[in-house]
Amino acid sequence: MNLDKIGKFISNCRKDKKLTQEQLSEKLGISDRAVSKWERGLCLPDASIMLPLCEILGINVNELLSGEMINNKDYNKKAEENLLEMAKKEEEQNKKMMMYEYVIGFISSITFFILVFVASYAVDKNSIRIILYVLAFVIIIIGVSFALKIETETGYYECQKCHHKYVPKYSKVYFAMHLGTTRYLKCPKCHQRSWQKKVLTK
């Protein structure tokens, strides 16, 4: 997906509609800086804005993601290419987020064990020992909670009974039995419990 090409296409379509960046941003209820970023190829419009943007510019989402007008003959092919590209980008982003989860979990766990070790073997004063224990548990709780939030919102869990993929509530993930990122959850579709694996795309 060529962001520069998409940005130039948005800019040309906007100018064809005789709209300034400020006018377009006002119609979409966003800042003109966001429009400027799209047109400079720095990022894509959010999914929630794509349809209103396309309606204003007189194009469809497929054309927006392709960065060009598409004739009927090539439409299905382009749609397929764009879907594959979006799935690839989603998977790459989710892999990056899962890496953050592992790093946060690792750092908070190491910090916890270091503080507990220091409190147990390197400190004589009871007051300092208690402070270190409390600090260790606060760090591990915050670290694990933050890592689990990333895990919950990244990708999907796949039911092993009906293969439905979904994003569960954070509280369900937090209290579920688990082996790594595989969790024992109840599927909202078939209502069966199973060990559900984390998958990065639908």
Report percent pLDDT > 70 for the chain. 100
Kindly report whether the global pTM for this prediction surpasses the value 0.75.
no
Residue 107 in this model has a pLDDT that exceeds 80: yes
CATH T-level fold of 3-70: 434 Repressor (Amino-terminal Domain) (1.10.260)
Q: What's residue 71's pLDDT?
A: 79
Per DSSP bridges, beta strands 178-179 and 165-166 are: unpaired
Number of helices and strands (H, E) in the chain? 8, 5
Q: What's residue 48's pLDDT?
A: 84
Three-state DSSP class for residue 32: helix
Measured N-to-C along each axis, helices 32-39 and 21-28 cross at an angle, to the nearest 10 degrees, of: 120
186-195 average pLDDT score: 94
As beta bridge partners, residue 158 has 165, 197
Q: What's residue 104's pLDDT?
A: 94
Instruction: Quote the radius of gyration of the chain (alpha carbons, Å).
Output: 24
Domain boundaries, the chain: 3-70, 71-154, 155-202
Q: Pick from 192, 97, 197: which is nearest to 147 by CA?
A: 97
Reported as a single tens digit per residue, the pLDDT across 117-144 is: 999 998 889 999 999 999 999 999 999 9
Three-state DSSP class for residue 18: coil
| 195 — pLDDT class (breaks 50, 70, 90) | very high
Residue 188 in this model has a pLDDT that exceeds 90: yes
